[in-house]
Amino acid sequence: MTNRPDFLESKIIDVEWGIEVRVVKPCNLYGCKIGDHSFIGPFVEIQEGAVVGRNCRVQSHSFICSQVTVEDDCFIGHGVLFTNDKFTQGKPSYDEDTWQKTYVGSGTSIGSGATILPVRITSNCLIGAGAVVTKDLTEPGVYVGNPARILRKA
């Protein structure tokens, strides 16, 4: 075969940076906003329009997609995956208008390996490692499992 693919490089481009942010490369950050004093680990991708607040940690291998807002003082563990497309038409949508938002309130911590469907998570929640969050979490507490269920209230 002599076809030649179009090779792109992971990049850090068009990011709105707060003060004193630290970033470990390689990572792929584009069109997003990262707040003051936050940390972004290696092998992370953050897409266009995503917002990470101040004093957050986004650990290695995590993926934060478009239409996700993470408020201040949040911890996003290693390998945490956000989503914005619930395949509501029976397949992935490439129309951004059909994507759904995720909101993570301030002070919430998400354990490593958690997967987050497009939901609203209130402040000061703890999401256990490996949890799959499929519904809004409206009260502070500890949530674990697949699908994530409340383990105890905060």
The one-letter amino acid at 128? G
Asked whether position 10 contacts a second copy by CB under 8 A, the answer is yes
Query: Computed over its alpha carbons, how large is the radius of gyration of the chain?
Result: 16
The span from the first CA to the last CA of the chain, in angstroms, equals: 59
**Residues that contact a second copy, how many (by CB under 8 A):** 63
Give, as ranges, the residues between 17 and 36 that touch a second copy (CB under 8 A): 17-26, 28, 34
Quickly tell me which residue has 């030649």 as its tokens. 4
Q: What tokens does 58 get?
A: 């986004």
Q: Which of 63, 71, 99, 122 binds a second copy (CB under 8 A)?
A: 63
Separation of alpha carbons 78 and 22, rounded Å: 16
Position among 106, 112, 120, 123 found at the interface with a second copy (CB under 8 A)? 112
Measured CA to CA, the distance from residue 51 to residue 53 in angstroms comes to 6
Which residues bind to a second copy, rule: CB under 8 A?
1, 3-10, 12, 16-26, 28, 34, 41-43, 45, 57, 60-61, 63, 65, 75, 77-79, 81-83, 87, 90-92, 107, 109, 111-113, 115, 117, 124, 126, 128-130, 132, 134, 142, 144-147, 154
